[in-house]
């Protein structure tokens, strides 16, 4: 009897050891499946799919993990299906001069003053190759023309349908473009993520003398094309969207791949830490 009990005890200890060992194997797995963030816009979906596969594989554990897994799947689906793309790579990081709603004083050295109706996206090196700009959403090119203060301008009209089937029409305005580089004409359809063309050259006719950068504005279209880059009264900003907020709400946040992969890795890390 005593002998049997000892055997049973040995069996239990063995089992525990085996469980712990298996646990160790499970803990190692996530670290091998960490996904490196890759930035080019057109590979966004592939990156997210890779993150999903790697992350979900790593999260195939019990309990809380399942909830986190569902949460992450929903989040990733939303990003993949959002069909909203950055107009320029590193969009948020390169908003280093003027963001939406920023007040530019008439006393500043700037040519214009007032409340900025969009984001300015800077280039890090004006001697670099031309900087591509992309269609933020699928829609129609409704303007492609030279406008004083901007140089080359493109406006994309796109629609959104809410849960009640109400349709809203928006415009995405791109200022300071090289118009000759634009592959589309007015009336053409573009798909989200398509390259429109490139930024205008630094302090040239293409930018109407401005530095090389993208002025990007988004507004709800109610019959008026809004070219203004600044408004005198803060209250008038109501006619424009905050572009980065607009995109974030549609699940394109600052660096979507990185943010979501960070989330995945953090979730995996939590599970690893909580696993006894
Ligand atoms: Zn601007």
Domain segments of the chain as ranges: 2-84+255-274, 103-249
Q: How far is the CA of 105 from the centre of ligand 1 (A)?
A: 14
Q: How far is the CA of 148 from the centre of ligand 1 (A)?
A: 13
- Look at residue 71 in the predicted model and tell me its pLDDT: 65
Mean pLDDT estimate for the chain: 75
Could you tell me the pTM of the whole model?
A: 0.66
pLDDT surpasses 80 at 271: no
Q: How far is the CA of 117 from the centre of ligand 1 (A)?
A: 7
Q: How far apart are CA 118 and CA 162, in angstroms?
A: 24
Q: How far is the CA of 244 from the centre of ligand 1 (A)?
A: 14
Mean pLDDT confidence for 261-269: 59
Strands (E), the chain: 103-104, 114-116, 119-122, 132-134, 139-147, 151-161, 167-177, 189-190, 195-198, 213-220, 230-231
The domain made up of 103-249 has a fold known as: Glucose Permease (Domain IIA) (2.70.70)
- Look at residue 24 in the predicted model and tell me its pLDDT: 29
Q: How far is the CA of 116 from the centre of ligand 1 (A)?
A: 6
Q: 27: helix, coil or strand?
A: helix
Q: How far is the CA of 118 from the centre of ligand 1 (A)?
A: 6
pLDDT surpasses 80 at 74: no
Give residue-wise pLDDT tens across range 222-263. Answer: 999 999 999 999 999 999 999 998 987 776 533 444 555 565
Q: Which residues surround ligand 1, an ion (CB under 5 A)?
A: 120, 215, 229
Q: How far is the CA of 5 from the centre of ligand 1 (A)?
A: 80
């Amino acid at each position: 009897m005593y002998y049997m009990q000892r055997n049973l005890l040995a069996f239990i200890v063995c089992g525990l050891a085996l469980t712990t060992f298996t646990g160790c194997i499970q803990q190692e797995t996530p670290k091998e499946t960490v996904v490196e963030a890759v930035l080019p816009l057109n590979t966004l979906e592939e990156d997210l799919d890779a993150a999903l596969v790697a992350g979900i594989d790593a999260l195939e554990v019990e309990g809380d993990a399942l909830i986190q897994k569902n949460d992450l799947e929903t989040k990733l689906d939303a990003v993949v299906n959002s069909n909203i793309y950055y107009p320029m790579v590193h969009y948020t990081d390169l908003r280093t001069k003027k963001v939406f709603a920023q007040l530019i004083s008439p006393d500043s050295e700037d040519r214009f003053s007032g409340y900025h109706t969009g984001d300015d996206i800077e280039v890090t090196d004006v001697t670099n190759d031309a900087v591509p700009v992309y269609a933020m959403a699928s829609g129609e090119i409704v303007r492609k023309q030279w406008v004083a203060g901007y140089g080359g301008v493109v406006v994309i009209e796109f629609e959104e349908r809410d849960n009640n089937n109400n349709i809203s029409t928006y415009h995405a305005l791109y200022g300071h473009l090289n118009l000759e580089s634009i592959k589309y004409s007015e009336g053409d359809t573009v798909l989200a993520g398509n390259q429109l063309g490139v930024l205008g050259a630094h302090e040239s006719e293409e930018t109407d003398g401005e530095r090389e950068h993208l002025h990007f504005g988004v507004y709800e279209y109610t019959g008026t094309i809004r070219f203004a880059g600044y408004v005198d009264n803060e209250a008038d900003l109501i006619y424009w969207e905050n572009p980065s907020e607009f995109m974030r709400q549609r699940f394109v946040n600052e660096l979507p791949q990185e943010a979501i992969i960070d989330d995945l890795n953090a979730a995996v890390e939590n599970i690893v830490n909580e696993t006894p």
